[in-house]
Structure 1
């Protein structure tokens, strides 16, 4: 019975991560800056590869959100999961645009600690000033 509960628990976590990944990916793709031609021009690969690459960040966001949920320290004015990704995507693209503006830098997705710093700023109130 214990193994069955562990399997169900892992399946639940995987399902929740998939939900976070869906919303984050959708927001990132919908918020690509108007002055960029497309994902391929920014990263050098297509949307399918970006979807895979974002999974690491979605997973990190899920675990960070779980901690904030357990601490009851999520922002009061964002009460549903799907409200966060737009703010995260805006911060994500600001991070990418800084690299685009620095011609000497190869465009990279944020590493996990840098991404969590972006998310933390949103949870700590920076989402209110667009």
Structure 2
């Protein structure tokens, strides 16, 4: 009998980041990826997820704005929320950490081992 893997969503506007993430973590997690914040919101509303990962700087909304929509809708309050980004926006991410909107910030480029350890430390 196999154990179920932790579940996560990763939202990023760059498809190559999603492809690489899925390939690297496919044995560790049940993964859903998308480039659309609106699809991500719908998916999170319909699924019980252990982790919500998002890029910060995206064209439709920032990662912080995406996570605020989830919080304001009282969606996935127990999921670990992580922003993975090469950019921050003038304190927006720092404020999100201080107010506990996000649990962690990971800089791009990230390493497989460090990101895996961060996530699995919460399982």
Tell me the TM-score normalized by structure 2: 0.30
Compare the two structures and name the one with the higher helix fraction. 1
- TM (normalized to structure 1)? 0.29
More strand by share: 2
Structure with the larger RCO, 1 or 2 (CA within 8 Å, 6+ apart)? 1
Q: For the pair shown, which has the larger CA radius of gyration, 1 or 2?
A: 1
